[in-house]
A and B are shown apart, each in its own frame.
Chain A
């Protein structure tokens, strides 16, 4: 991507490749993180992660001078924490943070062909392959091609995102700034996730290493003994459990969903088997075998993943509620739902 960015743009969108390029050009070396005056930035990065993971609030401080380094260091910390759930959660929050900037920037576009507009539209086009345009008669209205819209919004659950409830004309769907940005939320968080995944750190500077250790201790309780209350389960899973508890028959596909979901949240096999004991055709031995099979301990040795919301919807196993918004697999349910609430969006 070749966009000429000002520092403030890079600071807002530090996940752009230009950001690391910018740092490289300033001749900044990793050793420098060990210098005492850097401690402030390292602390800030750690605080950013801690706040997002623990309190579930988007970190909304903005300091143009230190933003890029803070972001880079936070990536490094997340990378060396090496915990998948933290990485996912962090990616989501960073994307929500960037979303806010994107919306604000879009809303501030006054006239066409402004430099900022080119930048924003390029972000959409080159990073997310969505061509965005401003409506000629109303600059607060953006338009994206019908196909680009469908590729994303058809996976949202809310009725208002259904094409029939949109203004569609001449091959375009018309959206306001908020909606335009919402369209790429999943991809934005995937982008940040990938940035962390693909990052290679030859050696982590000591200052960061010690801060990481410290953070690891703090965060451990949030990820190790995570217990799920029934209210945490997505509606599809809840429904399946209810049917089971009533002693009614549950279709095979729903059983697979239930078992794979429970395996995914690392519920012990014995507890999963117990869930099925009310089934009319319950047989402890067979159920155990089946669950172990899904877990990849028996038979093909591949661990089965939880079916996607799409698939479940097709099989009429989906009972989506508003909290299902924006997720494509039931395992994402708890995380997103809580995040959204706390972020006050």
Chain B
């Protein structure tokens, strides 16, 4: 049986529901069955809360149900459950609890790893519209954002096929996207070790499994910090709230200002970053004075400082780091937004997610493209066209496109 060519029409929805979901799920099952060793056992596993995102019938258009408050005593127990009924996504708490399976109020929090999320889509790169697709939530019609809106991603969408107006946006990150978040991850590691003094071997960098990187810090002293303290860390990393006073510029009188470098000098941390931007050093109080007046005094300088802070600050998701009760994607498991795995990066600089995180089998699956699309995985380029109807693709490529909502899969026997 081949896919109906009319899968771009509302009638397409009446096809056997969920064949794509079932096919993806079965590839996921094989992964958990044959590559269970890739799942990274968190320390103190019995104190962690686990969560699953189930496959929805209309995968990937709508997510399935989220299940939380699970607990496992060993990784074997976890893997058994992943094979029995493979979820779309697997999460594990960064927190340790006395009773991880209880409801939130009764878990008894005992600490949480410090975690960071760097997401490629937060960089607003110019390349994004060229590899982002709008997928109609009603009929599954999809096309490049560029084709639908031109390069300027507009806000309104009317499905050319069914006239519905609710699209999902899906993106096939390119190497530029990956490089942007990679860079951020490298900067983050250097701040964590240089400024916060965290030992490098306590900082683990992971590819998120889709379009970004996750950092896990397992350092006993940091894991006791509450969410307020973590938010202070986020502020430091992003440069949010940097005051002129911290580099020695204060208000004086009505419109005036005064300058005295802080006692600790300006050669470290944020002070050093700002000094470098302003091209000043410990002997340049006069020069700084000149800069501040040029910017129109204290208030003007503050605006300038905010700009520098935005430029120099890191782009991380503040919510992930501040939340001490989060379940976070588990290392070694598959990401249902791509079918790629969340994996530890040995050498982040040279890390290539499209080979190193592309771990599904290569058994072929009947695939029907929903949009014209080109993708490069494990060193091979796959080109699909809508008019081509169904073709055979290795599972890793078929699943990648299916997870992106750009292809439908047949159930393999």
The yes or no answer to A1 lying at the interface (CB within 8 A) is no
Q: Which of B195, B239, B245, B246 contacts A169 (CB 8 A)?
A: B195
List chain B residues, Cβ under 8 A from A210.
none
The interface stretch among B164-172, B223-231, B356-364 is B223-231
The yes or no answer to B76 lying at the interface (CB within 8 A) is no
Chain A residue at smallest Cβ distance from B265: A167
- Bound form: Cα–Cα A151–B221 in Å: 10
The yes or no answer to B232 lying at the interface (CB within 8 A) is yes
- Of the listed residues B227, B232, B243, the one surrounded by the most CB atoms of chain A closer than 10 A to its CB is B232
List chain B residues, Cβ under 8 A from A145.
197, 221
Q: Which of A147, A154, A169, A176 contacts B269 (CB 8 A)?
A: A169
Residues of B that sit less than 8 Å from A by CB: 194-198, 221-222, 224-229, 231-233, 235-236, 239-243, 245-246, 262-265, 268-271, 309
Q: Are B197 and A160 in contact (CB under 8 A)?
A: no
Q: Are B196 and A154 in contact (CB under 8 A)?
A: no
Interface size on A, residues (CB 8 A): 30
Q: Are A164 and B240 in contact (CB under 8 A)?
A: yes
- Bound form: Cα–Cα A72–B14 in Å: 84
Q: Are B270 and A164 in contact (CB under 8 A)?
A: yes
List chain A residues, Cβ under 8 A from B269.
166-169
Chain B residue at smallest Cβ distance from A172: B197
CB distance from A12 to the nearest CB of B (A): 25
Chain B residue at smallest Cβ distance from A161: B232
List chain B residues, Cβ under 8 A from A160.
243, 245-246
- Bound form: Cα–Cα A336–B196 in Å: 32
Q: Which of A141, A159, A172 contacts B243 (CB 8 A)?
A: A159
Q: Are B232 and A154 in contact (CB under 8 A)?
A: yes
List chain A residues, Cβ under 8 A from B229.
150-151, 154
List chain A residues, Cβ under 8 A from B228.
154-155, 310, 313
Given A147-B221, A154-B228, A171-B196, check contact A164 B263 (CB 8 Å): no
The yes or no answer to A174 lying at the interface (CB within 8 A) is yes
- Bound form: Cα–Cα A314–B318 in Å: 14
* Residues A294-314 near B (CB distance < 8 A): 310, 313-314
CB distance from B345 to the nearest CB of A (A): 24
Q: Are B243 and A154 in contact (CB under 8 A)?
A: no
Chain A's interface: helix, strand, loop or mixed, by majority?
mixed
Given A167-B271, A172-B197, check contact A162 B232 (CB 8 Å): yes
- Bound form: Cα–Cα A313–B243 in Å: 21
Chain A residue at smallest Cβ distance from B196: A146
The yes or no answer to A203 lying at the interface (CB within 8 A) is no
List chain A residues, Cβ under 8 A from B224.
147, 151
Q: Using A165-B242, A168-B196, A170-B194 as known contacts, list a sample of 16 further A-B pairs with CB atoms less than 8 Å apart, ordered by residue number in A.
A: A135-B264, A140-B263, A146-B196, A146-B197, A150-B225, A151-B225, A154-B232, A160-B246, A163-B232, A164-B241, A164-B270, A166-B246, A168-B268, A168-B270, A169-B195, A170-B195
Q: Which of B221, B235, B262, B268 contacts A164 (CB 8 A)?
A: B235
* Residues A124-172 near B (CB distance < 8 A): 135, 138, 140-141, 145-147, 150-151, 153-155, 159-160, 162-172
List chain A residues, Cβ under 8 A from B268.
167-169
Residues of A that sit less than 8 Å from B by CB: 135, 138, 140-141, 145-147, 150-151, 153-155, 159-160, 162-172, 174, 176, 310, 313-314
List chain A residues, Cβ under 8 A from B271.
167
List chain B residues, Cβ under 8 A from A169.
194-195, 268-269
Chain B residue at smallest Cβ distance from A165: B246
Q: Are A164 and B236 in contact (CB under 8 A)?
A: yes
Chain A residue at smallest Cβ distance from B322: A314
The 7 A-B pairs with the shortest beta carbon distances in the complex, nearest first, are A171-B197, A167-B264, A169-B268, A165-B246, A150-B229, A154-B229, A163-B236
Chain A residue at smallest Cβ distance from B264: A167
Q: Are B242 and A147 in contact (CB under 8 A)?
A: no
- Bound form: Cα–Cα A168–B239 in Å: 13
Chain B residue at smallest Cβ distance from A309: B228
- Bound form: Cα–Cα A108–B198 in Å: 32
CB distance from B5 to the nearest CB of A (A): 53
CB distance from A329 to the nearest CB of B (A): 14
List chain B residues, Cβ under 8 A from A140.
263
- Bound form: Cα–Cα A80–B68 in Å: 52
Q: Are B231 and A154 in contact (CB under 8 A)?
A: yes
6 A-B residue pairings within 8 Å (CB atoms): A147-B222, A150-B225, A162-B235, A165-B246, A168-B236, A171-B198
Q: Which of B225, B246, B265 contacts A147 (CB 8 A)?
A: B225
List chain B residues, Cβ under 8 A from A310.
226, 228
List chain B residues, Cβ under 8 A from A167.
262, 264-265, 268-269, 271
List chain A residues, Cβ under 8 A from B241.
159, 162, 164-165
- Bound form: Cα–Cα A146–B222 in Å: 9
List chain B residues, Cβ under 8 A from A154.
225-226, 228-229, 231-232
- Of the listed residues A135, A165, A174, the one surrounded by the most CB atoms of chain B closer than 10 A to its CB is A165
Q: Are B233 and A168 in contact (CB under 8 A)?
A: no
Chain A residue at smallest Cβ distance from B267: A169
Q: Are A138 and B263 in contact (CB under 8 A)?
A: yes
List chain B residues, Cβ under 8 A from A138.
263-264
- Bound form: Cα–Cα A163–B224 in Å: 17
List chain B residues, Cβ under 8 A from A151.
224-225, 229
Chain A residue at smallest Cβ distance from B221: A147
CB distance from A282 to the nearest CB of B (A): 30
CB distance from A217 to the nearest CB of B (A): 43
List chain B residues, Cβ under 8 A from A141.
263-264
CB distance from B199 to the nearest CB of A (A): 9
CB distance from A123 to the nearest CB of B (A): 21
- Bound form: Cα–Cα A310–B236 in Å: 19
Chain A residue at smallest Cβ distance from B237: A164
- Bound form: Cα–Cα A163–B196 in Å: 11
Chain A residue at smallest Cβ distance from B225: A150
- Bound form: Cα–Cα A164–B246 in Å: 8
List chain B residues, Cβ under 8 A from A176.
263
- Bound form: Cα–Cα A162–B240 in Å: 10
CB distance from B43 to the nearest CB of A (A): 19
